[in-house]
Amino acid sequence: MRRSRLPLLLLILTLLPCVTRAEVSRPNFIVILCDDLGYGDLACYGHPQIKTPHLDRMAAQGIRYTSCYSAAPVCSPSRVGLMTGRSPNRAGVYDWIPASNGKTKRPDSREQVHLKADAVTLPKLLKKAGYATCLSGKWHCNAQFNSPAQAQPDDAGFDHWFATQNNAAPSHKNPRNYVRNSEPVGPIQGFSCQIATDEAIDWMRDKGAPDSDQPPFFLYLAFHEPHEPVASPSELVAGYEDVAENENQAQYFANVENVDLAVGRILKALESTGKDENTLVIFTSDNGPETLSRYRGAGRSYGRPDPLRGMKLWTTEAGFRVAGIARWPGVIKEGQVIDTPVSSLDFLPTFCHLAGANVPGDLQLDGAVMAPTFQNKPLTRPKPLIWCYYNALNEHRVAMRQGVWKVLAKLNGGELPRFSNVNTKNVVEARGAKLTDIEIYRLSDDLAETHNRAETNPKALARLTTQLELAYRELVRDSMVWVAE
């Protein structure tokens, strides 16, 4: 029987100062991030066909969050938010970042966009506190990947990195665009999530036995799956031929199952190396599912948003309410299902709290310490969660989660042009936009956002409008502006 570390650890976390806490017990951290995974794509979140036994077991051994949010409804800003604990708008990352050769100038200045070298990031803070750090998988936090012109994963604090700029190419099968510590790797046989997992496991094994002098570690395992172009092992695809609508859907189902197999390998590696009980593992996604055939090449995007409204690129719940599973044997109570809102913005303050890593006192964080939820206790969130996505597919481009309430707002009545970036050409228009057409939804009994209560609950509308206005204006004032050239 596993001996519980809970009483000792809780005593440490509540009674001792940060430095002593870090010296006594510092857990390892693993964040496993999917790309475009639908809220309803796992069996433990209700999918009727996809087999995810390892993630189901992970949820049964820990927490399944039903109100877990990404930092944005699209990839690059979501990843920047996770890295910084701040709204990605503050770092100037408003939309996905297209690759750039450094020569061609874009009208929207997106060739400049990257997570800057001076940004305070989670791996930097943990590294400063003595942690080893590793990225394996998708980076997508700069336009000029593996170039001295922009900051790279090592500038963000990763000791070891094995990554691509955006998607695995030409697909998840046999990718040829991985780079390891600035050196292109060339073609690799296999499927991307398993390749990234191979790298992660090899790196973890180098960290030594649990009682060795090796430092604790932070691993960021960022899968490309199930983002297009989807490609899956044939033996997994065959398992869905009788339940899928077509070959493309079978490919998608198998893609998610392949992710589950990779997660199972990570958990097994932790157990076999004796690091299991001292490692907090969080599984989540960067945003919601892609819309089938929204663009050429999206013919296998069969992600399931159910029971939420919208899809990726929307500010309704399906855009950024994602799967969230946390496991930490002996510390997190098993079998919990928690509806308390948590966010990838919470990872930085939470991990730093548990590691005894110092966060600069003047750093404006948008996340909160989510550790109380490990014991199903209330989470104190000093500010509401807010999203401002100028390029949303729906007309309400600003959203807020406050308690049981979801708030949506248009900008200038929906007349504000859509922006993929904010630069010196459009900043006045962006900052001067007015919040209009505010809608409020009580998510506790209206998860699908079908009943706007703005007219029937004027007191709640007034209170939430004031809170939204304050949070939105503070964010807009602090959002980074790129210089248009």
114 assigned to active site: no
Q: What is the 3-state secondary structure (H, E, C) of 428-478?
A: HHHHCCCEEEEEEEECCCCCCCCCCCCCCCHHHHHHHHHHHHHHHHHHHHH
**How is residue 328 written in tokens?**
């930490």
Q: Are 224 and 193 in contact (CB under 8 A)?
A: yes
What is d(CA 260, CA 52) in angstroms, rounded to the nearest whole number?
Answer: 5
**How is residue 180 written in tokens?**
């390891």
Q: Which amino acid makes up residue 280? A: L
193 assigned to active site: no
Residue 221: strand pairing partners = 32, 136
Please state the φ and ψ torsions of residue 126, each to the nearest 5 degrees. -70, -40
Q: Are 265 and 303 in contact (CB under 8 A)?
A: no
| CA 270 and chain centroid, separation | 22
Contacts of 103 (CB under 8 A, 6+ apart): none
3-state percent helix, strand, coil for the chain, nearest multiple of 5? 30, 20, 50
Q: Which amino acid makes up residue 363? A: L
Strand order in the sheet with 398-402: 385-388, 398-402, 405-411, 435-442
DSSP class of residue 67 equals E
Please state the φ and ψ torsions of residue 173, each to the nearest 5 degrees. -85, 125
Catalytic residue among 34, 47, 54, 75: 75
Catalytic residue among 54, 140, 172, 396: 140
Residues with catalytic function: 75, 140
